[in-house]
Each structure stands twice: as C-alpha cells, then as structure tokens.
Structure 1
Amino acid sequence: MILKGWKYYAFVGTVFGFIGGALYPIVIYPMQHIQEYKEMQKTTRKGIKQEEIQPGNMKVWSDPFGRKKD
C-alpha cells in the first residue's frame, strides 16, 4: 500500500508527533525546570558521601564548564 496525498502527510505528521511526544518528558521538560530537578537531587542524595562510594579511588567528577574558584 502506497500512501499518497494527505494520507502520506498525515502518516509522517503522526510519526513525528509520537517522536516529539516521547522526547518531551525526557529532554525538554527537565531543561525547562532545572531548579525542580536540582531540588530533587538534593533530597535523594542527602546523606550520601560521593567520595566514599566512588569506585576505584577515582576522582569525583566536577563540571569542566564551571567557574574556577578564586
């Protein structure tokens, strides 16, 4: 079955709609609500000392784009 005309565009639009709908809660929502996710991390990581659970005595990750402390 070959789709022609408006049925083709409806099919393509539906596919892109599903992809966009699936990506929204994974990519777009967290980027728009950064503070909410930071608060969630503070709550869930309370009491965890990252230095103690770091495997293989590796250095704890730090943001390479963060500002340097004076």
Structure 2
Amino acid sequence: MTKLLEGWRYGVFITMLVGAIGLTCYPIIIDPMVNTKKWKKIQDHTRKNINQEDVQPGNMKVWTDPFDRKKS
C-alpha cells in the first residue's frame, strides 16, 4: 500500500495549506493595514451621526492624546 502524502505531494499539500490560510487572512488582516484611507472613510461614514460623548460608558471622559502639547 502506498502513502498518499510522500515526496513532492507533501510539499504541494503544505504549500496549498499555507496559501489557503494566507488568502483567508488577507481581507481580514492585511488589507485594512495596507489601505488605511479606505477603512477610515468607511469608519467616518458609519459614525457620522454618533456623538461619542453620549455613548461613553460610565460618564467617563472621551479619550484624548496624553502627549498632545498645549497650544498656548
């Protein structure tokens, strides 16, 4: 009885497995990091009618940059 995954067939199997994982991860992980303008535009459009201070839980202060320099 012969083994199915032996030699070059094993290499093809591993290559196809890694390729399938890569193709699956591209639209979820890599595309948003590469095309940030597209995703920022989508985010601005979906959040345009939301006042962040109204949805902030526990009456907490809305996040601000702690390293932002005062303009005085």
TM (norm. structure 2) is 0.78
**Structure 2 runs not aligned, ≥5 long:** none
Alignment of 1:1-70 (within 5 A): 1=3, 3-62=5-64, 68-70=68-70
Q: How many residues align?
A: 68
The 3 A distance-change label for structure 1 pair 62 and 24 is farther
**Please, what is the CA RMSD of the aligned residues?**
2.0
The 3 A distance-change label for structure 1 pair 3 and 63 is farther
Could you tell me how far 1:69 is from its partner in structure 2? 3.2
C-alpha distance in structure 1 between counterparts of 2:57 and 2:63, whole Å:
12
* Rg comparison, structure with higher value: 2
Match for 2:17: what amino acid?
A: V
TM (norm. structure 1) is 0.80
C-alpha distance in structure 1 between counterparts of 2:19 and 2:51, whole Å:
42
**Structure 1 runs not aligned, ≥5 long:** none
Match for 2:43: what amino acid?
A: Q
C-alpha distance in structure 2 between counterparts of 1:39 and 1:48, whole Å:
15
| SS of residue paired to 1:26 | helix
